Amino acid sequence: MANFSIEKYNGLFDAVLKLKTVEDCQKFFEDVCTIKELEDVSQRLEVAKLLSEGKNYQEVAKATGASTATISRVSKCLNYGEGGYKLVIDGKGESK
């Protein structure tokens, strides 16, 4: 992805930052995402939480139903990514 630029998604990020409640989030994401997309993102977040708790791949797969490819990708992001999962898991709200 040589020409990837995360900034092109700033409109989406700005929209999410306007959401104040869980109910607001539910309404927005139900309109914007498919059920499958919501399930996938929710699953990845759960995988990240379990990996952060020290669970191994087998335990995470059993608990979430995630594939080893998904678990591996989330693990890579936890260890080498931008810190996004840690922001929401730790609740600190600031980047690394």
Nearest to 51 by CA among 28, 24, 27, 78: 78
pTM for the full predicted model: 0.85
* Per-residue CA distances from 72 to 45, 54, 66, 90 (Å): 13, 14, 10, 20
Domain ranges for the chain, please list them.
7-90
Q: What is the pLDDT of residue 15?
A: 96
**Over 50: is that where the pLDDT of 37 sits?**
yes
Q: How far is Cα 92 from Cα 86, in angstroms, rounded to an integer?
A: 8
Q: What is the pLDDT of residue 94?
A: 55
Q: How far is Cα 84 from Cα 13, in angstroms, rounded to an integer?
A: 13
CATH (one of 3.30.70.600, 1.10.1270.10, 1.10.645.10, 1.10.287.180) for 7-90? 1.10.1270.10
For 10-33, the pLDDT digits (tens) are 999 999 999 999 999 999 999 999
**Over 50: is that where the pLDDT of 39 sits?**
yes
